[in-house]
Structure formats: C-alpha cells, structure tokens
Amino acid sequence: MYSYTHSRPAVAVDLVLFAIESERLVVLAGQRTAAPHKGRICLPGTYVHEDESAADACTRKITSIGLEHTYLEQLCTFTEPRRDPRERVVSIAHYGLIPMPRELPPGDDKIGRMAWMEPSSALGKNWAFDHQEILEMAVQRLRAKIQYAPVSPHFLGDAFTLSELASVYGAILGRKLDLSNFRRDLLKQNLVTAVGTRKVRGPVATTYRWNWENRSPFFLSLG
C-alpha cells in the first residue's frame, strides 16, 4: 500500500441556500449545538465521503434536510489552515437557489434549529468558522450573475410577468428597480418572449419566458 508523506486534510462542503420570501432574498442558516463554536450561527454543511464527489455531498445534505435545489454552483474553495480548530478541513463552498418550502427545514446533529435570514442582517451576527466570508462571497456572486444569466426560473417558474421578474432582481440586489428601465433592457435585447396573460391583482398582465433561442451575450444595467 502506498504511504503518503504529506498530510491529508478532511474535505467538506458548505452550502449557501438562497430563496425568495415576500420579495426578500433570504438564506438558510442555523445555530450550532455542538463544539466548536457552540451557539454561533452557521451554514449547513457536511464532510465529503470517500465514495462521493463534492456535488454528491451537496445533494445528500440538501436532501437530508428535506429540500431540493433548482440550481447549484461551486463558489470557492476555502483552505485557511486554522479555519476549523478541530483539524485541517478544506471546504468547497457552493451556493444554491431553492423554491421556498412550506415548512422550515429541521436541524441535524450539529444544528439545533434553522431559520431564513436576510443576508444584510445576518452578516452582522456571530458566525462560526469562516461562514460569514462564504456568505458575503455568495451574495456578491449572485448579484453579479443576474446581470448576465437568467435566474428567475429557479424562483418563479417558466412563465412570469415583468413585475414579478423585477421583484426577484430587486430582492437579490436589496433595492427596488425602475420597472420601465428594466422592461426596456429586456425587450431591447430580445431576452424575453410573451407567452400568454394572467390576471394579477386587478388588470390582466402579459406573461413572459426567457428567450432561450437568443444565445447572444447580454448585460442588464441594474444601477
């Protein structure tokens, strides 16, 4: 049997799971019930087993707390030697977009309870490990990504009104968008296609889907 002469750190995944609740972007977090960092806020995560990939570990963890993701992307690998005081742990952080579940996900053997938190208020709390840094990076990545890649199907479904789409973008950015400018950007670049109508709080509104046939690069001006 081959013997390694260098250390073999443990490998884990940490998950930043975003959802939209009442036109607000929220992230799933919990309170640790075990050492280290008992009582601090943390992201859900797990060690990667010998027979699985990091993506498989993410899916296993998401499924174990009764959720399903519609989008999952690797964020960054966190390798600071003392990020976990127990041992050397390399974490492959991912962020995911999930539909808001009807019930709050349960905790596990290390997290006593979970809650949906707005990132802006969560970032000031007492976080375990380097999870605040992971969350900050995930928010920045998501806000950058929505300028050049469609994300609404993960929160709205395939058909949506432009007001609904603007509310998702506004929730992610943390501010209300100018609907007329947003609409002009979408239609000018042929990014959406009308597919029907729906009654929304009074008047009938046109519903759209992303124009997947338009493969040209786009950039939404969301300033």
Taking the C-alpha atoms of residue 177 and residue 182, their distance in angstroms, rounded to an integer, is: 7
Amino acid, single-letter form, for residue 88: R
How high is the pLDDT of residue 127?
96
DSSP of 56-95: HHHHHHHHHTT---SEEEEEEEE--TTSSSSS-EEEEEEE
Q: With bands split at pLDDT 50, 70 and 90, how would you rate the model's confidence at 218?
A: confident
Report pLDDT digits (tens) over 84-110.
999 999 999 999 999 888 888 877 778
How high is the pLDDT of residue 223?
62
Taking the C-alpha atoms of residue 130 and residue 11, their distance in angstroms, rounded to an integer, is: 15
108 burial class (0-12, 13-18, 19+ CB within 10 angstroms)?
A: middle
Determine contact, residues 51/129, Cβ cutoff 8 Å: no
How high is the pLDDT of residue 2?
67
How high is the pLDDT of residue 66?
86
Report pLDDT digits (tens) over 183-206.
999 999 999 999 999 887 778 999
CA torsion 132→136→141→144, rounded to 10°?
170
Length of the chain equals 223
Report pLDDT digits (tens) over 113-168.
889 999 988 888 899 999 999 999 999 999 999 988 888 888 888 899 999 999 99
Domains and CATH numbers, the chain: 10-145 (3.90.79.10), 153-210 (1.10.10.10)
To the question of pTM greater than 0.85 for the whole model, the response is yes
Amino acid, single-letter form, for residue 90: V
How high is the pLDDT of residue 1?
61
